[in-house]
Chains A and B, each alone.
Chain A
Amino acid sequence: MRNIILTLKSKFGVEILKEEKKQIWLKADKKNLLKICSLIKKNGFNFFSSLTAVDILEKNVIELIYHIWSEEKKTILNIKIKIDRERPEISSVSNVYDASQIHEREIRELFGVNFLGNPDLSSLFLEDWSGPAPFLKSFDWRNYVRKKFYSKENKRERGYFT
């Protein structure tokens, strides 16, 4: 276990944020993601558990967290990667982990992150969606709903506009 982390540290400049008994948090760079993933997959981390995105409006970044579990080591690796909020693009890991395909598809839909190389990034829930990505903090959903669904002329719905 220690060897893998030391290799990641020396080879790709990975930073260890926190270490617990069964969990390790790492901070990595965007361009090394594919190499890191293929290296840890060779070393037992073969279960792509989940992919999370956090929109940090103040720092103008979107933080992606890859949760990758190893059954033999009973450890989960949480790899944090920050990408630019203006140009949310990152290479897809669906070539390494097949299961990441649908997670990336969901993040693309809800946060607008473009995963380069993912074969299918069509919408899961939001069919015919034309607005901005709904889970971004900059999305003014209340205003969007007012515009799209309600009318000021309707007596019952007038209260929503005040």
Chain B
Amino acid sequence: MNLEKINDKANKKLKKVVKSIWVFNWFNSCGFTEILPVVGSRWDMERFGLIPVPSPRQADCLIIAGYQTMKSIKRAKLIYEQMSSPKIVIALGSCPVSGGMYWDSYNTIKRLKDYLPVDLYIPGCPPRPEAIFDGISKLIQKSTN
């Protein structure tokens, strides 16, 4: 949740986002289990106005979780292109951040920022729901003030 990473240009972009953040999830492998407790009733992301939407065209925020292969990052790029501006990209888990445990795999990406403009990194393997909410709350603060 390194907010220093978000530069001034991105700050302006975040301020245009409406209060509720609708997310489109793009998950590979264990990425889905990383956010699954957040969707469930115990941590319940809808408290914060987060709703998983079925189409990227309705989404404000793209969550990329789990390792991305060279094949799936192309589809992720397509999804990113389909989202309407302003849009946010969140890298969830250690795999999109640095390659994670697949740091020496020949077919996974190592740095997500080489492929998509990442606004927020949430590291962890898997990240706790608290960490995800911390990151999301920072996004909401940035977008509302």
Judge whether B116 is part of the interface by a CB distance below 8 angstroms: no
**Residues 54-79 of B contacting A (Cβ, < 8 Å):** 69-71, 74
**Residues 108-162 of A contacting B (Cβ, < 8 Å):** 125-129, 131, 134, 141-142, 144-145, 148-150, 156, 160
Interface residue stretch chosen among B6-14, B84-92, B102-110, B131-139: B102-110
CB distance from A143 to the nearest CB of B (A): 10
Residues of A within 8 A of B71 (CB): 125-127
The list of the 8 closest CB pairs from A to B, nearest first, reads A149-B110, A127-B71, A141-B106, A145-B104, A144-B106, A145-B106, A142-B104, A134-B106
Judge whether B98 is part of the interface by a CB distance below 8 angstroms: yes
The size bracket of the interface on A is 10 to 19
- How far, in angstroms, from A156 to B94 measured CA to CA in the complex? 14
- How far, in angstroms, from A160 to B103 measured CA to CA in the complex? 9
Residues of B within 8 A of A150 (CB): 110
- Which residue, B71, B74, B99, B106, has most C-beta atoms of chain A within 10 A? B106
CB distance from A128 to the nearest CB of B (A): 7
Whether the pair A156, B98 counts as a contact (CB closer than 8 A) is yes
CB distance from A135 to the nearest CB of B (A): 10
Residues of A within 8 A of B109 (CB): 149
Cross-chain pairs A/B with CB under 8 angstroms, 20 sampled: A125-B71, A126-B70, A126-B71, A126-B107, A127-B70, A127-B74, A128-B70, A129-B70, A134-B106, A134-B107, A141-B104, A142-B104, A145-B105, A145-B106, A148-B106, A149-B99, A149-B110, A150-B110, A156-B98, A160-B104
